[in-house]
């Protein structure tokens, strides 16, 4: 991981640097907040900022937020700086590390930030085949499209490819195309010059330049606006980018990886994704099977998460009972590995006795896993019957509107969740909702539930 230490490199802070480097971190130093911001804008990114508590941490965090520079900030200082430590936490620092530094504490902070390992756990033959192919093509510079449901481990797979490539010692930069507003994504990707738009207070290096020499992951590429896709295609083909407001192209040397939880062939048919861009990205396609198709992985991951969260919470590691194990294997796991991890974390905390039994394996609403599994088939059958009876005599557009609005109501107005359930892009969903609103239909805002007459 990349660590940027901000503040005077004297005495105890210098010792923190040594400990971080011994823990495997690549460390850079900025003697002031202004120099730290300049380094971040210039593309010398960081996964973690360790900042002297007496520096202007509030100003640093505010400037990073204004310029959409994302990296956690950890304050450090002597134990006598109690008021400064409180102010740093209030300003947005994630942690406070007292000095002189403790080697185990520094290592724990670094491990927490770099908690996603570049290697991942798998046992099932279905996943083994995918990993074997990934390892086989990792040494090339070919673009790779990684597809699969949400939570199957697409970003972890991308890190695995980078770690086994000839670019492993160079940056691995990820950008979530769905999390950044359309108007700002071009600047995030390609950077901008000072004064290019309101808020562009200085030149900012984009993700393409930051990743130069290494690997760039375009996460959820299907959510990118089709107009920006044309500029992305040129950048991939020619390895040249244009900063927003810039006057000359900038060469970059990168490998492109992309992920999507949608069917991009269908997106091409819908007109929301460029076919030529798909051809460029899809030199190699790695489809990660959902967890329900990887039963051997469910058991192995369950044991891993039990050990992980037992240790994290200072609890003894207890085995799964045979009944609990069977329930885990029967569950549908729509959230895949992410959902399994959260479920086992709860189970570790709730279990009583020498084993983790089925009574400890609960959903967030408190229902048992067996209840969820049993009710799934019944719900599907009942829903299918109700839908069939209610469709006769209605137009396709009317049925589509009701389905979209009912799903949005179910997710309490959460657009991203609703789009995932419907199997459409967030952009398509927003366009539909704007159309319905223009027609006078009530559209729930985030946090609202649609009332049914």
For residue 104, the tally of other CB atoms under 10 A from its CB is: 9
Mean pLDDT, the chain, rounded, equals 84
Q: Write down the pLDDT at residue 74.
A: 87
Maximum Cα–Cα distance for the chain, whole Å? 79
Question: Which fold is adopted by the domain 393-453?
Answer: Arc Repressor Mutant, subunit A (1.10.10)
Q: Which residue has the higher pLDDT, 193 or 109?
A: 193
Domains 2-113 and 132-287 share a fold: yes
**Could you report the per-residue pLDDT of 38-71, keeping only the tens digit for each?**
888 887 778 888 888 888 999 999 988 887 787 8
Q: Which residue has the higher pLDDT, 328 or 450?
A: 328
For residue 452, the tally of other CB atoms under 10 A from its CB is: 8
Residue 323 has pLDDT above 50, yes or no: yes
Q: What is the mean pLDDT of residues 144-152?
A: 94
Residue 376 has pLDDT above 60, yes or no: no
Residue 141 has pLDDT above 90, yes or no: yes
Q: Write down the pLDDT at residue 276.
A: 94
2-113 has CATH 3.30.2010.10 classification? no
**Could you report the per-residue pLDDT of 264-289, keeping only the tens digit for each?**
998 898 888 999 999 999 999 999 99
Distance CA 97, CA 111 (A): 14
Residue 154 has pLDDT above 60, yes or no: yes
Q: Write down the pLDDT at residue 377.
A: 43
Q: What is the mean pLDDT of residues 7-13?
A: 64
Domain 132-287 sits in CATH at: 3.40.50.300
- Using an 8 Å Cβ cutoff, are 289 and 337 in contact? no
User: CA neighbours within 13 Å on the CB side: how many for 283?
Assistant: 16
Could you give the strand order of the β-sheet that contains 255-260, starting from the edge strand earlier in sequence? 172-176, 215-219, 255-260, 144-147, 284-287
Q: Which helix (H) or strand (E) holds 5?
A: strand 2-6
Q: Write down the pLDDT at residue 79.
A: 60
| SS3 category, 243 | coil
Q: What is the mean pLDDT of residues 22-35?
A: 81
Give the lowest-confidence range in 15-19, 36-40, 56-60, 358-362: 15-19
Q: What is the mean pLDDT of residues 169-175?
A: 89
- Using an 8 Å Cβ cutoff, are 104 and 42 in contact? no
Q: What is the mean pLDDT of residues 91-100?
A: 81
Q: What is the mean pLDDT of residues 218-233?
A: 92
Residue 217 has pLDDT above 60, yes or no: yes
**Could you report the per-residue pLDDT of 284-305, keeping only the tens digit for each?**
999 999 999 999 999 999 999 9
Q: What is the percent of the chain with per-residue pLDDT over 70, rounded to a whole number?
A: 84
Residue 103 has pLDDT above 80, yes or no: no
Residue 375 has pLDDT above 50, yes or no: no
| SS3 category, 77 | strand
Backbone angles phi, psi at 285, to 5 degrees: -110, 125
DSSP structure class, residue 101: P
Q: Write down the pLDDT at residue 86.
A: 86
Residues 6+ apart with CB under 8 A from 228: 182, 185, 186, 189
Could you give the strand order of the β-sheet that contains 48-52, starting from the edge strand earlier in sequence? 26-30, 2-6, 48-52, 73-78, 95-99
- Our CA dihedral for 364, 370, 373, 375, rounded to 10 degrees, sits at -90
291-371 has CATH 1.10.8.60 classification? yes
Residue 258 has pLDDT above 90, yes or no: yes
- Using an 8 Å Cβ cutoff, are 21 and 33 in contact? no
Give the lowest-confidence range in 298-307, 328-337, 436-445: 436-445
Give domain limits for the chain. 2-113, 132-287, 291-371, 393-453
User: pLDDT grade, residue 10 (50/70/90)?
Assistant: low
Residues 6+ apart with CB under 8 A from 329: 295, 298, 299
Residues 6+ apart with CB under 8 A from 340: 291, 298, 301, 302, 305, 328, 333
């Amino acid at each position: 991981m990349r660590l940027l230490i901000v503040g005077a490199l004297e005495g105890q802070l210098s010792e923190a640097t040594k400990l971080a480097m011994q823990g495997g971190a690549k460390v850079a130093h900025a003697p002031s907040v202004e120099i730290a911001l300049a380094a971040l804008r210039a593309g010398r990114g960081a996964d973690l900022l360790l900042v002297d508590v007496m520096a202007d941490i509030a100003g640093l965090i505010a400037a990073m937020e204004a310029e959409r520079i994302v990296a956690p900030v950890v304050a450090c200082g002597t134990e006598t700086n109690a008021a400064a430590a409180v102010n740093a936490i209030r300003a947005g620092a994630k942690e406070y590390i007292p000095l002189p530094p403790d080697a185990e504490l520094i290592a724990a902070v670094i491990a927490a930030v770099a908690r996603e390992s570049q290697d991942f756990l798998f046992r099932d033959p279905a996943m083994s085949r995918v990993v074997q192919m990934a390892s086989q093509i990792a040494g090339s510079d070919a673009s790779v499209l990684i597809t699969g449901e949400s939570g199957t481990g697409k970003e972890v797979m991308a890190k695995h490819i980078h770690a086994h490539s000839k670019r492993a010692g160079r940056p691995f930069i990820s950008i979530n195309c769905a999390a950044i507003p359309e108007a700002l994504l071009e600047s995030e990707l390609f950077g901008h010059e000072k004064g290019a738009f309101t808020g562009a207070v200085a030149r900012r290096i984009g993700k393409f330049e930051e990743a130069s020499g290494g690997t760039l992951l375009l996460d959820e590429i299907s959510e990118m606006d089709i107009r920006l896709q044309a500029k992305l295609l040129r950048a991939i083909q020619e390895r040249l980018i244009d900063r927003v407001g810039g006057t000359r192209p900038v060469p970059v040397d990168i490998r492109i990886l992309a992920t999507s939880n949608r069917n991009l062939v269908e997106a091409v048919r819908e007109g929301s994704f460029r076919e030529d861009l798909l051809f460029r990205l899809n030199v190699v396609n790695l489809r990660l099977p959902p967890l329900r198709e990887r039963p051997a992985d469910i058991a192995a991951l369950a044991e891993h998460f039990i050990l992980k969260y037992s240790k994290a919470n200072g609890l003894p590691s207890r085995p799964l009972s045979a009944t609990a194990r069977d329930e885990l294997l029967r569950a549908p796991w729509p959230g895949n590995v992410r959902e399994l991890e959260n479920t086992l974390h709860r189970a570790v905390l709730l279990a009583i006795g020498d084993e983790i039994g089925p009574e400890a394996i609960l959903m967030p609403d408190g229902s048992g896993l067996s209840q969820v599994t049993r009710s799934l088939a019944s719900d599907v059958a009942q829903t299918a019957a109700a839908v069939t009876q209610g469709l006769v005599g209605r137009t396709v557009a009317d049925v589509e509107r009701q389905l979209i609005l009912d799903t949005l109501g179910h997710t309490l107005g959460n657009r991203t969740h609703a789009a995932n359930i419907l199997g459409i892009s967030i952009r398509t969903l927003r366009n539909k909702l704007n159309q319905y609103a223009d027609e006078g239909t009530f559209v729930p805002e985030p946090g609202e539930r649609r009332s049914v007459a």
